[in-house]
């Protein structure tokens, strides 16, 4: 029998999975389970065992705490959603590489110039 925590954990798994571009089928294959089971997890219809939760965290490349810690990732507020989106981006290969490279730039002026360039490039045509 599931409860509110199970629903929230499932929702976080689904949100993060989609953010990193992973399909339910991909996660199911990684865990060697059915897609239907992934759907039930993400809908909060069934409780996820601790070993399975750890495997899901590995598949999504996040700490288990990101999926379960109520203090770390409340998705109910705008700030928390933004933090969750940032965390989801940073766990991607590209997000991590971009963050690491950007932090290595010593010059604040160069960092600002790069940010301005990225903002211009991200504008719709």
Q: Determine the pLDDT at residue 48.
A: 94
Residue 50 has pLDDT above 80, yes or no: yes
Q: Tokens in use for 112?
A: 């600002």
In a domain, 111, yes or no: no
Q: How far apart are the first and last CA of the chain?
A: 50
Among 96, 103, 11, which residue's Cα sits nearest to residue 61? 96
Residue 29 lies in a domain: yes
- Distance CA(3)–CA(5), nearest Å, equals 6
Residue 52 domain-assigned (yes or no): yes
Is 77 inside any structural domain?
yes
Number of domains in the chain: 1
Using a cut of 0.75, tell me whether the model's pTM lies above it. no
Q: How confident is the model at residue 125 (pLDDT cuts 50, 70, 90)?
A: confident
Domain that holds residue 49: 4-91
- 118 inside domain: no
Radius of gyration over every alpha carbon of the chain, rounded to an integer in angstroms: 17
CATH number reported for the structural domain that contains residue 47 in this entry: 1.10.260.40
Residue 49 lies in a domain: yes
Higher pLDDT, 124 or 33: 33
Alpha-carbon distance of 100 to 102, in angstroms, equals: 6
Structure confidence by residue, pLDDT tens digits, 70-120:
665 444 445 556 666 777 787 788 888 898 899 899 998 999 999 999 999
Q: Is residue 107 part of a domain?
A: no
What's the pLDDT at 38? 97
Q: Where are the beta strands (DSSP E) in 13-108?
A: none
């Amino acid at each position: 029998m599931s409860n509110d925590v199970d629903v929230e954990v499932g929702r976080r798994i689904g949100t993060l999975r989609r953010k990193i571009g992973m399909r339910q089928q991909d996660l199911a294959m990684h865990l060697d389970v059915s897609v239907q089971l992934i759907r039930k997890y993400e809908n909060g219809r069934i409780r996820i065992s601790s070993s399975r939760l750890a495997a899901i965290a590995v598949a999504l490349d996040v700490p288990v705490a990101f999926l379960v810690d109520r203090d770390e990732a409340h998705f109910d507020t705008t700030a928390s959603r933004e933090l969750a989106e940032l965390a989801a981006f940073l766990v991607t290969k590209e997000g991590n590489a971009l963050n690491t490279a950007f932090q290595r730039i010593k010059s604040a002026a160069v960092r600002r110039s790069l940010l301005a360039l990225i903002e211009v490039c991200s504008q719709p045509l």
